[in-house]
Structure 1
Amino acid sequence: MLWDVFCRVIDNFGDIGVCWRLCADLGARGHTARLWVDDASALAWMAPQGAPGVQGVEVRPWAEAECPANAEALTPGDVVIEAFGCNPPDAFLARMQRPHPPAWVNLEYLSAEDYVARSHGLASPVFSGPAAGLRKRFFYPGFTSATGGLLREPGLMARQADFMAHQRLPWLQDLGVPASEADRLVSVFCYAGAPLGDWLDALQAQALQAACDAPADTGPAAFPPSPAGITRVLLTPGHATSLAQAWAAQGRHTAPQALALHPLPALAQTEFDLLLWACHLNIVRGEDSAVRALWAGHPHVWHIYPQDDGVHADKLDAFMARWMHGWPPALRDEVQRSWRHFNQIQPARHATGAGLHLPDWRVADGAWAQASQDARAALLAQTDLVTQLTHFVAGSG
């Protein structure tokens, strides 16, 4: 099938990140996707192999779909996806008026809130404008069988297992991170308001304590047992790097022999996945990265997009309740306090002295790591989003 996917880049990289991953997954499964986007500049680093395209994917400027005279561009395919209610151009909508119009789907934002299951699949008829008489249907990603599932490419878990068994350390070293099996790795991808300095203080204190307590953990094959090494914090470009550099400039980086900072180059989506797989603790932001952290199966923290009206707090609570369902109560409470602290929703200082206390993420078979693996296993039982979406449009009528 030919899919037209419309994306407006509002801010950050979440919208185009989700849309690119959707298109790439469709292309890999034998479909053809045209990604109509108003600002494709992020694809230069996010998907360098995809500029101008990968198998089955073509990137087209939004403006081409706005021009009524552009008949070739304005011939809709079998499916039209408007990502996150972005409203495709009127000229394109007008061309959807044909005896057998394309399936029209509004791909919504990801949420674990209860309204998602109630709203998934609902149809909305259009009564005016160039699309009058057509209808679009709402497709909600989510975490239960009553939703549209999550983006997950076929064979993803097998690729992770192969990477962890054979490629992890060489890949890190090629990235400029001289990691050993003894080291503990943290990735950071956050927004500007993150209290990263508090977390670096806590990570540094943990690293120093671990050095005193070595030898430590007895992890599974993914992270073999070893004496305590350095904690290496891998910083994505932008806010994570600038916040960490500001922390160091304040003189708070007092133990570089225990905690090392590694600013990274911009990573393509496929490389970002490897980063999450390689690290013991991942701090992520935005929808696409949050889902990839779930598939990594390691302890993680989600820095949710902050909204002025505070509704992000409810969204975060709903996700924590879903993701952490069935966890031991003490672990769940401790992790939730840490998540709220990073999101500055509630004070989460629970003391070792004056500093933030972090749940134990360093032990590869510890409670947080095991709970993350169990929660991932529950999500893997769901049908992935692209499989559900293809069935959804085939039955949309």
Structure 2
Amino acid sequence: MHLSAFMPSRVDIFCKIVDNFGDIGVSWRLAQQLASEYGVTIQLWVDDVALAKQFAVVGHPRITLQHWHATAAFTQAADVVIETFGCELPAAYQQAMLRQRSIWLNVDYLSAEPWVESFHAQPSPQANGLVRYFFYPGFTPATGGLLREASLPALQADAQWQAVGLTAAPDLLTLSLFCYAHAPLAALVESLQHSLNPVRLLVPETIAPMLADTLGVSKLQVGERIARQNCTYYILPFLSQPDYDRLLTLCDFNFVRGEDSWIRALWAGKPMIWQPYQQSEDTHLRKLEAFMDHYLPLSTGTTAEHSLRNAMLAWAQGTWQTEHWQALLQAWPQISHHATAFKTRQSQQADLVTNLVIFIEKCLAHRV
């Protein structure tokens, strides 16, 4: 545990759960790392406590879940308040922050776009007298970095299939699938069923209804297995965050989405495809291109680079074809090496919470 002369004993974190998983997934990891590695007591304010408890599982002795609702009473603000993803702090709490002279940070969405470096850690004075600092995760030293707890390497090194309720399948390529509803799932199913290498696809229960529609079955239950040609589908239960990290490490290939699973797939060091959240005017494709510019330079001009870039764009645009999967298979040794190399290179940078604590310490040390 790291101790600091300036970090306060309590930090409040606010999170609105707008897409069921991403917001609370990131917020819970952030809270856990602050509590476990820096000994900070956390009040995590969420608008859906029941869903938050699915991520908390057994909880944490230094983290308390608080219900954030329209009539919630806010008596005293913390010295440091973290707003996640621009969720807008309650007016009553902001008044308490004024009395407490709180430091206010908005930990925003992860992006690889170049503008992030210019906006990271910049102050935004508010009309009520508070100053709101924007803290941007990112892939370069000029950003806030990526969430990466100190315990992650040990968890990955000890990962076993039994921990996630499965057995090893050395004769199959094992893939995990976490995607949005607009993913070209039918095309993926077609390509995997005609895969040159036999595969098994691990699908969480939240995606099972989509897969059932694609396969033409009425329903798929947790624990069910269904084989079609060269692909076998397994339906997984909801996994805790540590078990999901283990799963990504054990799989040969991971389809991920949004933010939390995206970061975790990168740390798994396995070949992956990221699906950004779909936005108007193809904004999500610009975000994808920016990420690929960071992710792919280690293999620029190679077959692996072309295969990955084409596959990621096709997955995001809904134009996936069997040829994309076949191209990935043909470049498998190269894309596997690339994933490991990217993880190693990115791990050399400071993680998000380390950078966040350093920034908070500076703000508190200079507070007047």
TM-score where L is the length of structure 2: 0.88
Could you give the per-residue CA deviations for residues 244-288 of structure 1, whole angstroms, max 9, x where no partner exists?
2223228xx996463211011111111111111110000111101
* 8 Å CA contact retained: 1:141, 1:150: yes
Note if 1:279 corresponds to 2:287.
no
Q: Which residue of 1 aligns with 2:149?
A: 153
Q: Offset of 1:361 from its aligned partner?
A: 7.9
Q: Which residue of 2 aligns with 1:235?
A: 203
Q: Which residue of 1 aligns with 2:308?
A: 335
Taking the aligned partners of 1:271 and 1:199, their CA distance within structure 2 comes to 25
Q: Offset of 1:202 from its aligned partner?
A: 1.6
Note if 1:59 corresponds to 2:65.
yes
Q: Which residue of 2 aligns with 1:101?
A: 101
Q: Which residue of 1 aligns with 2:3?
A: none
* 8 Å CA contact retained: 2:194, 2:229: no
* 8 Å CA contact retained: 1:105, 1:137: yes
* 8 Å CA contact retained: 1:110, 1:140: yes
Q: Offset of 1:15 from its aligned partner?
A: 1.0
Q: 5 Å matches for 1:228-307?
A: 230-238=198-206, 240-249=207-216, 256=228, 258-307=230-279
Taking the aligned partners of 2:292 and 2:118, their CA distance within structure 1 comes to 20
Could you give the per-residue CA deviations for residues 340-382 of structure 1, whole angstroms, max 9, x where no partner exists?
111116x45484xxx863412895xx10010011111111001
Q: Which residue of 2 aligns with 1:189?
A: 178
Q: 5 Å matches for 1:1-397?
A: 1=8, 2-29=10-37, 30-50=39-59, 54-63=60-69, 67=72, 70=73, 73-98=74-99, 101-127=101-127, 132-163=128-159, 168-172=160-164, 175=165, 177-206=166-195, 209-210=196-197, 230-238=198-206, 240-249=207-216, 256=228, 258-329=230-301, 330-344=303-317, 347=319, 349=321, 351=323, 357-360=326-329, 366-396=333-363, 397=366
Q: Offset of 1:184 from its aligned partner?
A: 1.7
Could you give the per-residue CA deviations for residues 17-73 of structure 1, whole angstroms, max 9, x where no partner exists?
1111111111112111111111122223222212xxx13111001138x54xx4xx4
Taking the aligned partners of 1:101 and 1:258, their CA distance within structure 2 comes to 61
Could you give the per-residue CA deviations for residues 126-173 of structure 1, whole angstroms, max 9, x where no partner exists?
12xxxx22211110000000000011101311321222xxxx23334x
Taking the aligned partners of 2:272 and 2:330, their CA distance within structure 1 comes to 9
Taking the aligned partners of 1:308 and 1:324, their CA distance within structure 2 comes to 25
Q: Secondary structure at the residue paired with 1:343?
A: helix
Partner amino acid for 2:18? I
Partner amino acid for 2:129? G
Q: Which runs of 5+ in 1 are unaligned?
A: 211-229
Partner amino acid for 2:52? L
Taking the aligned partners of 1:21 and 1:255, their CA distance within structure 2 comes to 35
* 8 Å CA contact retained: 2:80, 2:102: yes
Taking the aligned partners of 1:192 and 1:146, their CA distance within structure 2 comes to 34
Partner amino acid for 1:242? P
RMSD across aligned positions (CA): 2.2
Q: Offset of 1:7 from its aligned partner?
A: 0.9
* 8 Å CA contact retained: 1:198, 1:356: no
Q: Could you say if the C-alpha distance between residues 255 and 32 of structure 1 is closer, same or farther in structure 2, counting changes exceeding 3 Å?
A: closer
Q: Secondary structure at the residue paired with 1:185?
A: strand
Sequence identity (%): 36
Q: Could you say if the C-alpha distance between residues 160 and 356 of structure 1 is closer, same or farther in structure 2, counting changes exceeding 3 Å?
A: closer
* 8 Å CA contact retained: 1:281, 1:361: no
* 8 Å CA contact retained: 1:361, 1:369: no
Taking the aligned partners of 1:45 and 1:340, their CA distance within structure 2 comes to 32
Q: Which runs of 5+ in 2 are unaligned?
A: 1-7, 218-224
Partner amino acid for 1:387? T
Q: Secondary structure at the residue paired with 2:50?
A: coil
Taking the aligned partners of 2:186 and 2:134, their CA distance within structure 1 comes to 40
TM-score where L is the length of structure 1: 0.82
Aligned residues: 347
Partner amino acid for 1:17? G
